[in-house]
Amino acid sequence: MRFLRVTPLVLVLTTTLACGSSSSGDEPAAASSGGGAFPVTIAHKYGSTTITAEPKRIVTVGLTEQDPLVALGVVPVATTEWLGGYPGAIGPWAQPKLGGAAPPEVLKDAGDGPQFEKIAALKPDLILGLYSGLTKEAYGTLSQIAPTVAQPAAYGDYGIPWQELTEKVGQAVGKPEQAKQLVQDAEAAFTAAKQANPAFAGKTALMATPYDGIFVYGSEDPRSRMLTSLGFSLPADLDKVLGDKVGANISRERTDLLDRDALVWIVPNVADDAKKLHGDSVYNGLNVVKQGREVYIDETGDYGNAISFVSALSLPYVLERLVPQLAAAADGNPATPVTPA
């Protein structure tokens, strides 16, 4: 499963906050004065951060901020590796936006927490961790290095919607209108898919992964929001069962939660994991299996990486592949095969 675990580290860092400041007061999510885009103040879980001038050296410590950045013509100096081992941690769906620019430096996997010393050595003037699980301690250390925008308080960690993330990145770099257009373009892909598949409305769907048993994504996870944006509904008691709006493991006794009109599995190995799941008598007895409503996605490929990335650039790439699979799974005809993408 792909979530950030931040290990607090206490460092003494002396640095000049080149382009902004942070505070713990309640301030607007975004505010600006004067005729230009700056200053801009962005509220987050640990207060708010004011960016006083256009940032030139940005480091991302969240999962997906690099996509809206490069789409807006801003290449970060460093990203944090999460998926796929791509150059610069820029997926194939976003690489064309680099143009001729060199890819960013890639920092160590975020599962071990931010690499504070390396980030400081890059001399950033802005650090973005909107899609993250930064702890208060890690945020405090990063904000000593440069103005840092952490995850918003309105959602659980890793719960920011991609639309809001894109727009906040646009505000941070002084391109709010261009960011809104990115959101509109990606949302248009969802609108087209919904119009082409009206049967999705009124049907239920889930995404899950065989992580430490069975992990089900909750209502605030971007992958679940992808399903609802296509017209599907999530189980009404989903978050109550999980006890977490982003996601949690379910017990074998609650395997019934998986019995949906479409069930998307994100797995390390499609053949092996499908065989293992079908070997469970409880799961194999569900209609979702008997009626061929499963969609299996290899998490190690570009498609699997993109479906977990959930950005304004990855979403159109995903929808081209996912929508036909969902249509085959949810059409009510067990004879319709779900073709691998």
Complete domains list, the chain, with CATH = 20-174 (3.40.50.1980), 197-329 (3.40.50.1980)
**Structure confidence by residue, pLDDT tens digits, 53-94:** 999 999 999 989 999 999 999 999 999 987 778 999 999 999
Q: What is the mean pLDDT of residues 285-298?
A: 96
Which residues pair with residue 208 across a beta bridge? 216, 265
**Structure confidence by residue, pLDDT tens digits, 151-162:** 999 999 999 999
Q: What is the mean pLDDT of residues 12-25?
A: 40
**Structure confidence by residue, pLDDT tens digits, 174-214:** 999 999 999 999 999 999 999 999 999 989 999 999 999 99
Q: Which residues contact 276 (CB under 8 A, 6 or more apart)?
A: 210
35's tokens? 């005729």
Q: How far apart, in whole angstroms, are the C-alpha atoms of residue 312 and residue 184?
A: 9
pLDDT of residue 31: 39
pLDDT of residue 127 exceeding 80, the answer is yes
Measure the CA dihedral 135/139/140/146, to 10°.
Answer: 170
pLDDT of residue 109: 65
Tell me if the bond preceding 324 is cis, omega within 30° of 0.
no
175's tokens? 């391109």
Q: What is the mean pLDDT of residues 278-293?
A: 96
Percent of the chain with pLDDT over 90: 82
